[in-house]
Structure 1
């Protein structure tokens, strides 16, 4: 059943053309990894340069775009490639692009990318 909603309400509810996509990731680090330095590098080299937002820590988190925008597949690929290239990361898994406001656990299926 499709509801007819005003533009203002669609924006407030983050649906339709205002849907925001992002992704989740999990990483396993080596025992002697400096996770603080890894996060600092991650924020400055990837997150800030692509105008992204990151919630989490070195072992996993959520990535979305600043403002009312969606992460692109190019952004996702760049973030995951950077993480996979790090020697501190033993294994890495991530979801595809999911709705950051209304996604369900079923929609958050993870794909193993490294390890």
Structure 2
């Protein structure tokens, strides 16, 4: 594919200066967590993300956090999500990946993004 793209095309493809960042989360619940407790946790998690203007795509144990509108998640928002997750009693553990490209996960993160 050509690398000499117009600004309009770079924006449409979400590349270069228009790269959008997010991060993956893996959630491990305590063994005694039932379905209703998991559902309640997921509802609270989605509500908390909504308050931070973030979106979540995934299931109850794995997903991707991105900005709810066009743009990138920043390190501060990622840290806020980690802090919220660490305060939850339903989880045995969780992991959050470093920031990564939302559209092209195999591509490195631009320094300017």
Look up the SS of the partner of 2:8 in the other structure: helix
TM-score normalised by length of structure 1: 0.83
1:94 alignment counterpart: 96
Deviation per residue, 1:52-107 (Å, 9 max, x gap): 11012331210000221100101101111111111111111121000011112x97
Q: Which has the higher contact order (CA 8 A, sep 6+)?
A: 2
Rounded Cα–Cα distance in structure 2 between residues aligned with 1:48 and 1:12: 25
Any unmatched runs of 5+ in structure 2? 109-113
| Structure with greater strand percent | 1
- Contact 1:18–1:68 (CA under 8 A) maintained in structure 2: no
Equivalents in 2 of 1:50, 1:27: separation in Å? 19
Which structure 1 residue ranges, 4+ long, deviate > 6 Å from structure 2? Answer: none
Unaligned runs of 5+ in 1: 108-115
